[in-house]
Amino acid sequence: MAVTTAPSRFAVELRAWRTRRGRSQLDLSNDAGTTQRHVSYLEQGRSAPSRTMVVRLAESLELPLRDRNALLLAAGYAPLFPESSLDSEALQPSMQALRSILDGHDPHPAVVVRPDGEIVAANRALDVLLDGVDPALLVEPVNAYRLALHPAGMAPRIANFDDWARHVIDGLRGSLRRRPDPDVERLVDELAGYVPAAAPGPDHLGFAVPLQLSTSAGDLTLITTLMSFATALDVTLAELRLEAFLPADADSARILRTLADQRDG
């Protein structure tokens, strides 16, 4: 009688990632420089991958560095990419560069966040967004997405709150499709509770939704831009995102400058 064994952890993870990415075994094998049969055997647990093959498969699947390490561990190999703390000596040059970018973006607000929205750095102009926020939301670790959508956060000052909130939540759900994360899933569930259940109207702009925010100096219309470290070799650094807010019109640019002058005066 034939004896069957359960697929290895690596086999399960490889198949899960390939399915999540919508790739066929043939496509993946072509990108990774191997054969469809070998990929099939790997997913069945009938073959054990070399360390080089694991790296090539992870690269072909465009896995984040954290998940590349996890795939290596599942195959029985040591992680390839370090994960440093933000205050480690190894990351100080990069963190200093980030702080310079933040300072240079003033008088426009900018923050650096982890995947779950935890703010790790910000420039002084962030005060424009935080005006009137409940101090309880500013106790570390501060979460940028909770600040934006919580009823005691920025929400009362956002004129297009329904559309902006859906924009934020849809972005997080998109990230979850690319990389599942239980912490982010719980955050999305929390944030969804702050947003009316009404369906988007015919004028909904989807990903292009600006932030319309009232301030003491006038109403702002802001667009956002995201920056990441695409070639980072440290897990912590690779997961950071810099989100910068830019004025969408001349009036918003003038108001941001006026608020900065008031802050510095």
Query: Does residue 82 belong to any structural domain of this protein?
Result: no
Query: Does residue 3 belong to any structural domain of this protein?
Result: no
Q: Are 213 and 222 in contact (CB under 8 A)?
A: yes
- The pLDDT, as a whole number, for residue 237 is 95
Query: Does residue 83 belong to any structural domain of this protein?
Result: no
Residue where one domain finishes, among candidates 74, 97, 122:
74
- The pLDDT, as a whole number, for residue 200 is 58
Number of domains in the chain: 2
- The pLDDT, as a whole number, for residue 6 is 57
CA atoms of 257 and 100, how far apart (whole Å) = 19
Contacts of 180 (CB under 8 A, 6+ apart): none
The closest of 174, 109, 102, 179 to 144, measured between CA atoms, is 109
Domain region containing 68: 9-74
Q: Are both 162 and 224 inside the same structural domain? A: yes
**Sign of the CA dihedral 210, 211, 214, 218?**
negative
Q: Are both 104 and 151 inside the same structural domain? A: yes
- The pLDDT, as a whole number, for residue 1 is 36
Q: Are both 44 and 95 inside the same structural domain? A: no
Q: Are both 141 and 55 inside the same structural domain? A: no
Q: Are both 224 and 248 inside the same structural domain? A: yes
Query: Does residue 2 belong to any structural domain of this protein?
Result: no
pTM: 0.85
Q: Are 82 and 109 in contact (CB under 8 A)?
A: no
Q: Which residues of the chain, if any, have pLDDT below 50?
A: 1-4
Q: Are both 25 and 128 inside the same structural domain? A: no
Q: Are both 145 and 258 inside the same structural domain? A: yes
**CATH number, domain containing residue 254:** 3.30.450.180
Residue where one domain finishes, among candidates 74, 103, 123:
74
Q: Are both 24 and 153 inside the same structural domain? A: no
- Residue range 7-54, pLDDT digits in tens: 799 999 999 999 999 999 999 999 999 999 999 999 999 999 999 999
Q: Are both 103 and 212 inside the same structural domain? A: yes
Residue where one domain finishes, among candidates 27, 46, 74:
74
**CATH number, domain containing residue 22:** 1.10.260.40
Q: Are both 210 and 114 inside the same structural domain? A: yes
Cα separation values, 127 from 89, 136, 143, 145, Å: 29, 16, 15, 15
Q: Are 249 and 211 in contact (CB under 8 A)?
A: no
Residue 127: how many other CB atoms lie within 10 Å: 14
Q: Are both 35 and 162 inside the same structural domain? A: no
